[in-house]
Amino acid sequence: MIIKGVHHYIMNTYPKPQTITLQEKKLVGQSIDMSLIENKTFELFSDFMPKRRHIKNGLDTLIYEVLVYDSMTYFSEFNPNTLFKKWAAIEVSQYESIPRKHDLL
């Protein structure tokens, strides 16, 4: 009974995907090129997380993970070896004094 209840809860926690438009955000962070086969998420966030406190003008404690695909055909012509850029970033109020190894997004 408990397992069914937990399973039911987990299955219902994921809403139907939807596209939303957010207000413009100024993000500062690090990026890395990767594929699904060569997943470097751990490497990216392990490097970024200790350094994020050195970014000035942070607005909150949220961490953004942003994926940038070179082509709109990434999904229609899916290949797990296709490269994309993954970002780890925080929102800032203004771009100034960006630490080394960080970029604007």
Name the pTM for this structure: 0.72
**Any domain includes 48:** yes
Q: What local confidence, expressed as pLDDT, does residue 59 receive? A: 86
Give the residue carrying structure tokens 């987990």. Answer: 10
Count of domains observed in the chain:
1
**Any domain includes 52:** yes
**What domain range includes position 38?**
19-104
**Full strand arrangement of the beta sheet holding 84-91:** 64-68, 84-91, 27-34, 103-104
Local confidence pLDDT in tens for the 105 residues of the chain: 333 444 445 555 666 767 778 788 888 889 999 999 999 999 999 999 998 888 888 888 889 898 988 888 888 888 999 999 999 998 888 777 666 665 655
Contact 92, 59 (CB under 8 A): yes
